[in-house]
Amino acid sequence: MFRKFENLIRPFENVPAGTPPAKLWPYMVQQLAPFKKWLPWMAITGVLVALMESGLIFYSGRIIDLMGASSPDAFWAQHGFELILVIIFILFLRPVIITLNHFFLEQTLASNLQDQTRWRAHKHMLGQSSSFFQNDFAGRLTNRVMQLGPAVEDSTYMAFEGIWYATTYVLGAILILTQIDIRLGAPLAIWLVLYILYVRRIAVRVSVASEKWSAARSLVTGRVVDAYSNIETVKLFAHGASEEAYALSALRRLRLRFQRFLRLMTEMSFGLNLLNGALMVGVVGPAIWLWMNGHVTIGEVAAASALTIRLNGMSGWIMWVTIRLFEHAGVIREGLESIAKPQAVVDAPRAPEMVVEEGAIHIKGLSHHYGKDQGGLNGIDLHIPAGQRVGLIGRSGAGKSSLVNLLLRFRDAEQGEITIDGQNVSDVTQDSLRRQIGMVTQDSSLLHRSVRANLLYGRPDASEDEMIAAAQKAEAHEFILDLEDPKGRKGYSAHVGERGVKLSGGQRQRVAIARVILKDAPILILDEATSALDSQVEAAIQDTLFDIMENKTVIAIAHRLSTIAQMDRIVVLDDGAVVEDGSHEELLASGGIYAELWARQSGGFLGVDQ
């Protein structure tokens, strides 16, 4: 039975295309769209539960009147059948209705909505460009994604379990008291109006305070995670104290915003107690007066008193639920600041898959200035025939990384185009483009998973033998066999830690190289691929890299010129333009930038790209 209600919704299917709405209500409507068939059932069963509760209190007053009008000996004979029906209702029908309401609210709604919201947010965030993540804290983005799910789910759950139920109960109570005597229903109706106005006044302020509180939480999380992620840098530069101060300033702000939030809670409690006192005096007092004047019975006075006392207890809960709804609204709005941002790089509608048979790269009129007037690339024209190995060099800021990022379509070019085998990289799907390119960077990060999982990231369908062969070619197999993590997992099953921190820089680089070897893409980009290796291992890896370059189009970026001197061709970038193009010997003979750098360098390095 549980599984049947849980599976009424498929939370990870039919994800809406495009950017999520940036406004609260449109966003909530989009998230609740898969539940629209079941929301009426939640509402109907919620109404029945609330009416049953207020009805039972009213019926308890009727029993008191029946007992007062009958002798103990005749009571059962006169009212036994009615009581049997009520007992059957309480023991059997009432639990069924309440359980059905909980099935819809908990199994169908709560068990699916939270994870659906998180999944949709995470899926959209994964589609953001690299620059999106470079411009924000990973911790803050994570916090927003993780907080969004509970906020959306809890808001919807409490809207049915709290607001809908309470509204039905109060309206039922007003109806019952009005039927007893209209002079009892009127005070409750007046209280309801004042209560709604007061809650609205407090809730709006809570929403603003909650959004600021949520932003402060995200800021603290971002700064703490940033310090943890870069703990080696923190310790290397002895900046523990400054990191403490950096986090403490955010924590102080969080404390102040939380205190402002709690002040509203205290203010709310004071006002609520005043209203509830007026409610009890305004209903129970007139009920007693009406009884003294013979207008109502003792049972009706008891029912009115019970309804009022029950409502007194509920009112605090109702206000808490309302405040939580507005608090969640603040959390959702704060989260949408990141979640609802359009993706900067998107596939064209019905974009085809890229198919690479040769691997020829043609760059025409390529310019990209990152939205500025200068910097980046200026009108690059470059043709790399299929199977050619090209060395790409230049001083820091010359545009090497910009060119590679545009080739991988981490950004969209502002002008010009890049084609591979005649296919514009902007016209095909991003995933199919990047499947055709293998890349080893200077700082290769690994996932906090097993060595096996990291290697198979290159080609998930590779066999164990193929994976081990790739590791052997990258001179990684022997050290992998010696690995053991704190949980006792060994060899290829050992986990490497966040970003691969449990491995040395050279070990991480060899795993990254093995991953690219296993991928076996027709285009290969090497960005300082061997810079983290010692000379002996580098020599062995260089031979391996030259082997895997066979029949591939290669772009190799290196600051150590000796590593690319054997390339078929060397392209020199300077100030975002191609200034030299030729073989090693031709460029030395021309006496230009390359010859100058070669003369100055004897196994040394150029500046690192920013």
User: 39-85: per-residue pLDDT in tens?
Assistant: 999 999 988 988 888 788 777 878 887 787 778 778 888 888 888 99
Report the mean per-residue pLDDT for the chain. 85
Give the pLDDT of residue 21.
92
Is pLDDT at 127 greater than 80 in this prediction?
Answer: yes
Is pLDDT at 285 greater than 80 in this prediction?
Answer: yes
- Highest-scoring range by mean pLDDT, 186-190, 396-400, 403-407: 403-407
Beta-carbon contacts of 165 under 8 Å, excluding residues fewer than 6 positions away, are 46, 49, 50
Give the pLDDT of residue 604.
43
Cα(542)–Cα(513) distance, rounded to whole angstroms? 11
Give the pLDDT of residue 540.
67
pLDDT band at 610 (very low <50, low <70, confident <90, very high): very low
Give the pLDDT of residue 9.
92
pLDDT band at 283 (very low <50, low <70, confident <90, very high): confident
Determine the distance from the C-alpha atom of residue 609 to the mean position of all C-alpha atoms in its chain, rounded to a whole number: 31
Is pLDDT at 554 greater than 90 in this prediction?
Answer: yes
- Highest-scoring range by mean pLDDT, 259-268, 439-448, 476-485: 476-485
Is pLDDT at 137 greater than 80 in this prediction?
Answer: no
Q: What is the mean pLDDT of residues 347-373?
A: 89
Do the beta carbons of residue 512 and residue 446 sit within 8 Å?
Answer: yes
Q: In this predicted model, what pLDDT tens digit does every residue of 286-317 receive, in sequence order?
A: 888 888 888 888 888 888 888 877 777 777 77
Q: How far is CA 74 from CA 68, 106, 548, in A?
A: 12, 46, 100
Is pLDDT at 361 greater than 90 in this prediction?
Answer: yes
Residue type, 357: E
Q: What is the mean pLDDT of residues 130-142?
A: 80
Do the beta carbons of residue 340 and residue 124 sit within 8 Å?
Answer: no
Cα(101)–Cα(122) distance, rounded to whole angstroms? 31
Provide the sign of the torsion angle of the four alpha carbons 260, 135, 433, 518, taken in this order: negative
Is pLDDT at 593 greater than 70 in this prediction?
Answer: yes
Do the beta carbons of residue 363 and residue 416 sit within 8 Å?
Answer: yes
pTM of the model: 0.75
Cα(604)–Cα(511) distance, rounded to whole angstroms? 25
Q: What is the mean pLDDT of residues 319-326?
A: 77
Cα(38)–Cα(101) distance, rounded to whole angstroms? 11
Give the pLDDT of residue 606.
45
pLDDT band at 144 (very low <50, low <70, confident <90, very high): confident
Q: In this predicted model, what pLDDT tens digit does every residue of 184-200 receive, in sequence order?
A: 888 888 888 888 888 77
CA angle (73 as vertex; 68, 75 as ends), nearest 5: 50
Cα(523)–Cα(543) distance, rounded to whole angstroms? 18
Cα(170)–Cα(191) distance, rounded to whole angstroms? 11
Matching residue, tokens 């991953």: 515
Domains (range + CATH), the chain = 27-339 (1.20.1560.10), 362-436+557-610 (3.40.50.300)
Q: What is the mean pLDDT of residues 415-432?
A: 93
Residue with more model confidence, 180 or 249 = 249
Is pLDDT at 250 greater than 60 in this prediction?
Answer: yes
* Closest by CA position to 559, among listed 442, 405, 403: 442
pLDDT band at 533 (very low <50, low <70, confident <90, very high): low
Residue type, 81: F
Of the listed ranges 58-72, 340-354, 480-494, the least confidently predicted one is 58-72
Cα(360)–Cα(382) distance, rounded to whole angstroms? 11
Give the pLDDT of residue 532.
57
Give the pLDDT of residue 531.
64
Q: In this predicted model, what pLDDT tens digit does every residue of 445-474 receive, in sequence order?
A: 788 889 999 999 889 999 999 999 999 988
Count Cα neighbours of 591 within 13 Å in the Cβ-side half-sphere: 0
Q: What is the mean pLDDT of residues 519-544?
A: 76
Beta-carbon contacts of 368 under 8 Å, excluding residues fewer than 6 positions away, are 376, 377, 402, 406, 411, 413, 414, 415
Is pLDDT at 366 greater than 70 in this prediction?
Answer: yes
DSSP per-residue codes, 100-150: HHHIIIIIIIIHHHHHHHHHHHHHHHHTS-HHHHHTS-HHHHHHHHHHHHH
Give the pLDDT of residue 605.
44
Give the pLDDT of residue 607.
43
